[in-house]
A and B are shown apart, each in its own frame.
Chain A
Amino acid sequence: MWLPAYATRSERLGRLFVVLFAVAVLVFLIGPLFVVFPLSVSKDPFFTFPIKEYSWRWYADFFENTRWTKSLVNSLIAAVFSTALATLLGTLAALGISRPGFPWRKAVMALMISPMIMPVVIVAVGAYMFFGALGLTDTRTGLVLAHAGLAIPFVVVTVLSALSTYDANLTRAGASLGAGPVSVFFAVTLPLILPGIVSGALLAFAVSFDEVIVALFLTGADQRTLPVQMFSGIRDQINPTIMAAASLLTTVSIALFVLLSLIRRVRRA
């Protein structure tokens, strides 16, 4: 399989083995994602296969229970606002960092990326303590600020990667034709890096929408997000309504992923 003509017989056998191994790993990767969907439409409250009877009752449960619907709305609100904030700040930062004369680039990048690698519990407890002193715990503002901080590195990295293929001569050309830096940005740079910015925004949205730990510490009953509601549910007693919630979260993730892939395709074409 995908071998040159001179390959020996044992090489072919070995290759077949490696390919089968890789396929097994890919099934291992993708399989668990699709466990929740069938269980969410099973009539049985037990998580057993094969499914005997299908029913939408768990989705009805989800949408009739205000605790679930409210948490979904809370998640959407937090994600929209933190995405807007992170995209604005992250894009500006990437524009600065990509300029040739940017000082202390390595240190600044190391700092910008650090929210990605920081143990989330430390972030969450720190925010709980600091925001608590400012009266921002149990508020939407606190959650949005913390989520925006977590999402900024994702925007910076994606926009920087879009800028790495941007030809700086285009900026010079715009300037030589008499446009000021701001009009050059909006007329030339922005349209070209827009796919990168949108990709970053999609990532930022996913980061906030899926985040559990910071939300667990920063939200009270009124701002509780969907993942927090799910987490407490699983800790308590896992029930099929959680499968419905998990399916909804996964659907949103897949939708964001498909959007991103479409943007990438447009960019390449």
Chain B
Amino acid sequence: MAQTMSLATPLSRPDLRAALRRAERPNRLRALALALPALLFLIVTFGAPIGLFLTTAVRNPEVRHILPQTVSTLDQWDGQGVPGEEAFAALAADLARAKENSTAAALGKRLNYESAGMRSRIMSVTRHLGSFADGPLAPQFIALDPAWADTELWAIIKRNGAPVTLYYLLTAVDLGQDATGGIGRVAADQAVFLDILGRTLWIAGLVTVATLLLGFPTAYVISLAPARVAGLMLLMVLLPLWTSLLVRTTAWVVLLQTDGVINQVLLALGLTTEKLQLMLTRFGTVTAMTHIQLPFTILPILSVMKSISEGQMRAARSLGAPPLAAFWRIYAPQTLPGVAAGCLMTFILSLGYYITPALVGGPRDQMVSNFIATYINRDLNWGMAAALACLLLVMTLSIYLAFLRIVGAERIKLG
């Protein structure tokens, strides 16, 4: 190889490659120009919104905007002992303005994430501002609530004067910062997020394995069946793919209900004497998700199986391999690209499930997406929602990159 290269180099003019590139340039630009509208559209309706949303995971505007004087006064404070009177005066002035602009609640809510009780503390001071006597404010603050003499409380306010916080991202992996800024595990009763992430990965894994166990033999049979039968079978795989995810989930709600079809059949067959609780369970969630994801696993496997020549198995058998050995050593390894494509796709899509766990699952079966939605809809806590979204996105994108590496975006086919 090296020899041919060295032989070829003196023969080709050094600028030939560059000249060719230059000549092709208008074509390349024209091709790119065709794709540009769609790219720009996706960046505006897709990339920018997601990017903006994710930045809320580190944005920390509350303290900086609502307590500007306090933050600048605390800049001088070394964190040792209770800050001086000027800090209390600045806080009182800031809170008076917050009261006017009705922003005290937002501040209290933000600080309450860091230390429980801060909301009521802020609200109580804001309410009592009018009744404070002239003279030093610090004793009056402390008389109202001794916590104002706590160095840690002031350290929290000082730290959150920064425009960026790690609070949400750390919380999303069950870590927290103490008063001095050191990072450590949070108390066991607050450590819920790793459990949610683990649960999401576990459910996605279960669904992937279930679709593979059900889908591989099915794809195998479809690949062997005569054209007519195979067409009919393929139809049974493609039709569910076309049906709305919501309708399929609705069907499972009906099937899994305590008085639902599955319990009726089990009772009628005498397989169970009392009705089973299937709705709002992990089993129900995984079953419904497996049903929805099955076509995504089957189709890539089927497409690879169709390309494996029948002659190979015959050859293996004629060379003396028993049927199972021929299958495992000759046939199965060749299906791996399809298995990888199908399983990776199913795993990626399963990580982001929202509708099915929300309708079929119980509280212990809710996945990361459900918590993101809850943080937005119920708690109005955008920071926490964005931090969880960051984690979900990291998981999804790392597997998507593996998918691109192993399978490639250009090999994605639909139906």
A residues at B contact (CB < 8 Å): 2, 4, 6-8, 10-11, 14, 18-19, 21-23, 25-26, 28-30, 32-33, 35-36, 39, 46-49, 89-90, 92-93, 95-97, 99-103, 105-106, 108-123, 125-131, 145-146, 148-149, 152, 154, 156-158, 160-161, 203, 206, 209-210, 212-213, 217, 227, 230-231, 234-235, 238, 242-243, 246, 249-250, 253-254, 256-257, 260-261
Contacts and interface: CB of A to CB of B under 8 A. Distances in A.
From B39, B49, B355, name the one whose CB has the most chain A CB atoms within 10 angstroms.
Answer: B49
Interface in B356-415: 358-359, 368-369, 372-373, 376, 382, 385, 389, 392-393, 396, 400, 403-404, 408-410, 412-415
A261 to B, nearest CB: 8
Contact of A118 (B35, B36, B50, B52): B50
Given A93-B35, A158-B414, 14 more contacts: A19-B221, A29-B236, A33-B240, A90-B38, A99-B27, A102-B32, A102-B35, A106-B404, A108-B39, A117-B349, A121-B372, A122-B369, A131-B49, A156-B38
A257 B239 contact: yes
Interface stretch (B72-80, B92-100, B109-117, B258-266): B258-266
B34 interface: yes
18 contacts: A2-B225, A22-B233, A26-B233, A26-B236, A32-B248, A33-B239, A101-B28, A103-B32, A109-B410, A117-B349, A118-B393, A121-B354, A121-B373, A122-B53, A122-B369, A125-B373, A161-B414, A234-B250
A213 B355 contact: yes
B130 interface: no
A83 to B, nearest CB: 14
B278 to A, nearest CB: 13
Contacts of A8: 323
Nearest to B375: A125
A122 B389 contact: yes
Contacts of B28: 101-103
Contacts of B247: 33, 36, 210, 246, 249-250, 253
B380 to A, nearest CB: 12
Contact of A122 (B56, B222, B295, B372): B372
Interface in B271-304: 291, 294-295
Contacts of A146: 45
A213 B415 CA distance: 24
A120 B358 CA distance: 14
From B50, B222, B358, B368, name the one whose CB has the most chain A CB atoms within 10 angstroms.
Answer: B50
Nearest to B45: A149
A39 B251 CA distance: 10
A32 B45 contact: no
Nearest to B290: A28
Contacts of B48: 130
B53 A125 contact: yes
